[in-house]
Structure 1
Amino acid sequence: MLWQRTALELGALICRREVRAVEVLEAILERVDAVNPVLNAIVTLDVEGARAAAEAADAAVRRGEAVGPLHGVPVTIKDLTETKGLRTTYGSSFFADYVPTEDAILVERLRAAGCPVLGKTNTPEFGGRFDTENAVFGATRNPWKRAHSPGGSSGGAAAQVAAGMGPLAQGNDGGGSIRVPAACCGVFGLKPQYGRIPFWPRQDSWIAHVHEGPIARS
């Protein structure tokens, strides 16, 4: 099944025209419909935007353009990271209706690499705890044992990847916020060197000092 493949496997299939990015996206959306209502990992979906980006990715492959290894592979963005035109709450009721007017640099780069942005993943308020629950969206459940926490603060991202709702998620980590949920959910998380992936636009809080990184299936 496509939703069980890794990000690099899907990127290679799309590049070789063995599968279309649109097909990958639809398989993942079906999986989201099946399991996200219980797990509450993805809190804001951008189905129309993701479909448009997947169609554009397929068109680039048909034109024979040079594409990268993640071209056409859907990605989610943690709800601490700005996404143009897509609600970003920081897990706080104070920002429940906030819609940024620009993408964070890492989101710009993911879009430029051909990754459709599927939506936003849950986080505790301002990423401040090692569980994933807030007053806006409630709690995210661990896919392996729903009575347990997925960890935090990138718990929505880790639960999403572990449950097959996309092979790749963006998280950020100041004191374990990628590594802890990756361990809790049995997926791979990496905390890169600080500044290796720019964090911008910066907020006037400790959030500005986190490390941006990926959570993936392997």
Structure 2
Amino acid sequence: MIQLIINFFNTYNDIFKVITMSLTVSLSSTLISSVLGLTLGIIVSLNEFKLKKHIMRVANTLMSLPPVLIGLLVYILLSRKGPLGQFGLLFSPMAMIIAQSMLVFPIIFGLTVSSVTEIAVEVEKTCISLGANKLDTFYTIIKECKLPLLSVVTAGFGRAISEVGAVMMVGGNIKGYTRVMTTYIALETGKGNFNEAIIIGFVLLLISFSVNSVLFKLQGRN
């Protein structure tokens, strides 16, 4: 098995670019989605307004939206005739980050609202009684809810690293440029190269396990 893996990396020496691209796109989209999703999620958790239920219904719907629909939407937006076509982003890593961010954001936003609402409201009341300003209150909520928020980010990263449909549509699976591990697996499986697909699948699982382990260790320390 070890020799098989060594031969694989010697034969497919571009695999490190594939792994690097996967991590770059997935971590970038998770970071963007986390900043927006956690911030907006906490804000929605702390406030009651007429459209809140409708917003949550839309978020829950988007959480289960097929990735190919997001891929189609981003493709249309970034195509030459699309509203953002002038920027030439289609079939680029940036297009993949945009697509993955749109997929991950509803998950992080929805899970944030559902997991921290009760705690956030109690923390806000305590902070207000102590005379804290809005910024300090927001920081305190994040600090007190860091365990569930880390779980939310972990779920978002898992969604990003495993995505294939949307990134293939907007990235094009271009060798050495937009090819990631999931599209690599799909390509090699279609070619009948099951050994290669299994090995890169194992690498994907190992990377996902490593990242999740780091996040869980952070949860344990906290």
TM range (shorter): under 0.3
Higher normalized strand content (fraction of residues): 1
Tell me the TM-score normalised to structure 1 length.
Answer: 0.26
Tell me the TM-score normalised to structure 2 length.
Answer: 0.26
Structure number with higher relative contact order (C-alpha < 8 Å, ≥ 6 residues apart):
2
Instruction: State which structure, 1 or 2, has the greater radius of gyration over its C-alpha atoms.
Output: 2
Higher normalized helix content (fraction of residues): 2
